[in-house]
Amino acid sequence: MSERSDFLIGRASPEDAAAIAALHAKALPPGWPESDFAASAVEANRALLKATDRGRVCGFALFQFAADEAEVLAIAVALDAQGRGHATRLMQAAFELCRERFIACIYLEVAETNGKARGLYEKLGFRVVARRDNYYRHESSASETALVMRLDTVRSAVDPEISSP
């Protein structure tokens, strides 16, 4: 899974957990412990993907699988690597894994105010199916609403020409 020789997407290993935890803490404070990412890298019902640019971890996506459903638990791209399509490529690589597992739908949650992420998810075919008011609580600001988004078919995510019902 590669776009060019210095940018790669692949499975993360437990050795990548420290870099991924640090990236997660910057993108989504306070972040999760390194041990959670190390465990996720080897857990059968999870997929932890990493994006590397010139050997540096610059993004990751963590998916969880249950029966014929998947959930995006977390995705982040380093600030200095944003705007280059890394998040799209991470999601597309995850969609390939979902297709291999015969996943029928994928869920995720996103802050209602996170327009950049919502735009990406909508471009990939996700649609809002529910709202969770006051879901995200921040010490320094008011709580935020989470939008639950769903992609009904992996095929519609991989091939944007096919619309979701």
What residues does each domain of the chain span? 2-158
- Give the strand order in the sheet containing 2-4: 2-4, 7-11, 46-53, 56-66, 69-77, 105-111, 144-151, 127-136
Question: Taking CA 93 as the corner, what is the angle to CA 89 and CA 99, rounded to the nearest 5 degrees?
Answer: 140
pLDDT value at 155 more than 80: no
Beta strand segments in the chain, E: 2-4, 7-11, 46-53, 56-66, 69-77, 105-111, 127-136, 144-151
How does pLDDT run across 39-86, given as a tens digit for each residue? 999 999 999 999 998 889 999 999 999 999 999 999 999 998 988 889
pLDDT value at 2 more than 50: no
Structure-token pair, residue 110 = 């996103």
pTM: 0.84
pLDDT value at 4 more than 70: no
- Specify the residue for token string 């059968």: 44
**Side chain identity at residue 126, one-letter code:** F
Q: Which CATH class is domain 2-158?
A: alpha beta
* pLDDT at res. 161: 47
